[in-house]
């Protein structure tokens, strides 16, 4: 597929950064190969809506092959990269071996449970579409079992949902769970009108949404309290069990659903040792190149830039993807790569129940305006006009009726051996 005369650029990982790099290199003279283990790109900002049965998983999953079809110089390869030899410029996947002239590492990160006993086994992460689908199945299973069990203790445990981490994901998931438990489920499970659900955010830091400015943090905290969400700050989870969890205050909370939204660790294939931070991020030059291997770029979650602390957000990865592609085009023409500068557009977070917060430059937005802005911005960035149309119609119907429209437990059969407590698959 690769013509011998044109340089071969390999991109590993089709997240926001990798896909953007591939798209930005479309139409150039280079042969580009994008590798990912999944055959789709996930629009991660709306994962929590898949987990709470608002959206169907396919609508935020973009088939990569079709997405890249219009550029004949960009190819997609489904596979798992097992090893990279930076010296020999060679990649070994589970299917084949590839040589590259230039390489873009955009392998991303995964949930890190920080060694908390039981967390890996019993807590639900929320970083991939598979995570979101597994969590949705578990939530539907909990409510169904709560409606059937005659045991009040078990029912209370099945109706307690704990969110570990008070960042944007934790807050958004909490709000979405409020909508699910107060508005949607009581229509199908009338017993919920008598039996309240318990929602809990456990935050190790002193405040929710630490990356937002003070007034918005206070606003979010108050609104969540009004919605009935318990918030425990300066608290850590020390152990997770199938039917309860333990806090560092010594308190035991009966709870069958622990959602883990904090802590990430870098994912990198095997290969020569690269200079990494204590958190495992790769030190790169301001141009996003590796010092030892100037033909290798790294972007997204896995990167540590000198004198810039950019967080693991989608806009950062997208801007770095565009920049890496730009620098690669410069390199191909014999020019020097330029340093990357992040343009900070602002931050938004959904609280749910028609509330949201946002900060754009000096401007602080809260309430219905924040909620609307958050929806509109996410909606604009969803890839594909077809998904956008379906999501818009679904949101309209969902907000008007309060119904959750994606409650099917596909791929999940209740087998006779199913115990009350489901561990994440």
- The footprint of a copy of itself (CB under 8 A) covers 37-40, 56-58, 61-63, 65-66, 69, 77-80, 82, 94-96, 129-130, 133, 140, 144-145, 148, 187-189, 386, 389-390, 393, 397, 403, 405-411, 413-416, 418
C-alpha 44/C-alpha 61 separation (Å) is 9
Residue number, 69 or 222, with CB nearest to a copy of itself? 69
Least distance CB 234 / a copy of itself (angstroms): 37
Least distance CB 39 / a copy of itself (angstroms): 5
Residue number, 190 or 215, with CB nearest to a copy of itself? 190
Q: Given phi > 0 = left and psi -120 to 50 = alpha, else beta, which region is 334?
A: left
Distances (CA, A) of 239 to 117, 131, 171, 258: 5, 20, 22, 11
Residue number, 80 or 206, with CB nearest to a copy of itself? 80
Place of tokens 């594909």: 384
Q: Which two tokens stand for residue 425?
A: 């698959």
Residue number, 148 or 307, with CB nearest to a copy of itself? 148
Least distance CB 312 / a copy of itself (angstroms): 22
Residue number, 338 or 397, with CB nearest to a copy of itself? 397
Q: Which two tokens stand for residue 182?
A: 């107060």
Least distance CB 57 / a copy of itself (angstroms): 5
Least distance CB 69 / a copy of itself (angstroms): 6
Residue number, 100 or 340, with CB nearest to a copy of itself? 100
C-alpha 77/C-alpha 93 separation (Å) is 10
Task: Say if residues 275 and 311 touch (Cβ distance below 8 Å).
Answer: no
| Sign, CA torsion 224/377/17/322 | negative
Place of tokens 């949930």: 111
Least distance CB 63 / a copy of itself (angstroms): 4
C-alpha 302/C-alpha 287 separation (Å) is 15
Q: Which two tokens stand for residue 138?
A: 């578990």
C-alpha 301/C-alpha 312 separation (Å) is 5
Least distance CB 160 / a copy of itself (angstroms): 20
CB atoms within 10 A of CB 385: 8
C-alpha 385/C-alpha 391 separation (Å) is 10
Distances (CA, A) of 332 to 87, 186, 297, 327, 342: 20, 60, 14, 9, 23
Least distance CB 4 / a copy of itself (angstroms): 17
Residue number, 209 or 382, with CB nearest to a copy of itself? 382
Residue number, 333 or 414, with CB nearest to a copy of itself? 414
Least distance CB 317 / a copy of itself (angstroms): 21
What pairs with residue 244 in β-bridges? 254
Residue number, 46 or 284, with CB nearest to a copy of itself? 46
Q: Which two tokens stand for residue 327?
A: 């620098």
Least distance CB 207 / a copy of itself (angstroms): 36
Residue number, 234 or 418, with CB nearest to a copy of itself? 418
User: How does DSSP classify residue 334?
Assistant: T
- Which secondary-structure segment (H or E) carries 239? strand 237-240
Residue number, 234 or 401, with CB nearest to a copy of itself? 401
In the three-class reduction of DSSP (H, G, I as helix; E, B as strand; rest coil), residue 333 is classed as: helix
Least distance CB 161 / a copy of itself (angstroms): 19
| DSSP letter string, 337-360 | PPPP------EEEEEETTEEEEEE
In the three-class reduction of DSSP (H, G, I as helix; E, B as strand; rest coil), residue 112 is classed as: coil
Which of 339, 341, 343 is closest to 286 using CA atoms? 339
């Amino acid at each position: 597929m690769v013509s011998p005369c044109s340089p071969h650029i390999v991109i590993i990982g089709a997240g926001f950064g990798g896909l953007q790099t591939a798209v930005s290199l479309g139409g150039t003279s280079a042969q580009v190969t994008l590798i990912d283990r999944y055959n789709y790109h996930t629009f991660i900002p709306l994962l929590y809506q898949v987990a709470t049965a608002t959206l169907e998983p396919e609508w935020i999953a973009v088939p990569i092959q079709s997405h890249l079809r219009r550029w004949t110089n960009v190819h997609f390869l489904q596979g798992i990269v097992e090893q990279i030899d930076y010296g020999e410029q060679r990649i070994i996947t589970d299917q084949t071996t590839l040589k590259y002239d230039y390489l873009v590492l955009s392998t991303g990160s995964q949930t890190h449970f920080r060694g908390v006993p039981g967390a890996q086994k019993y807590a639900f992460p929320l970083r991939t579409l598979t995570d979101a689908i597994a969590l949705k199945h578990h939530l539907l299973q909990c409510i169904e079992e709560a409606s059937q069990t005659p045991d009040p203790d078990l029912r209370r445990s099945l109706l307690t949902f704990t969110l570990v981490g008070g960042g944007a994901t934790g807050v958004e998931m909490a709000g979405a769970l409020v909508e699910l438990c107060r508005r949607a489920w009581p229509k199908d499970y009338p017993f919920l009108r008598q039996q309240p659900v318990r929602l809990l955010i456990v935050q190790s830091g002193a405040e929710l949404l630490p990356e937002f400015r003070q007034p918005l943090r206070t606003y979010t905290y108050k609104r969540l309290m009004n919605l009935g969400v318990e918030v425990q700050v300066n608290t850590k989870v020390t152990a997770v069990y199938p039917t309860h969890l333990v806090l560092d205050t010594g308190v035991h909370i009966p709870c069958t659903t622990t959602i883990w939204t904090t802590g990430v660790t870098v994912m990198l294939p095997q290969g020569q040792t690269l200079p990494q931070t204590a958190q495992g991020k790769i030190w790169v030059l301001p141009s996003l190149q590796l010092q030892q291997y100037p033909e290798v770029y790294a972007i997204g979650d896995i990167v540590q830039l000198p004198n810039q602390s950019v967080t693991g957000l989608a806009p950062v990865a997208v801007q770095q993807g565009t920049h890496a592609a730009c620098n690669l085009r410069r390199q191909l023409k014999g020019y020097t790569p330029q340093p990357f500068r992040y343009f900070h557009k602002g931050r938004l977070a959904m609280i749910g129940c028609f509330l949201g917060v946002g900060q754009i430059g000096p401007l602080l937005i809260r309430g219905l305006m924040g909620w609307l802005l958050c929806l509109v911005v996410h909606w604009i960035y969803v890839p594909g006009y077809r998904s956008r149309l379906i999501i818009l119609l679904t949101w309209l119907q969902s907000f008007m009726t309060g119904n959750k429209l994606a409650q099917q437990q596909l791929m999940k059969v209740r087998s006779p051996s199913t115990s009350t407590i489901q561990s994440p698959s």
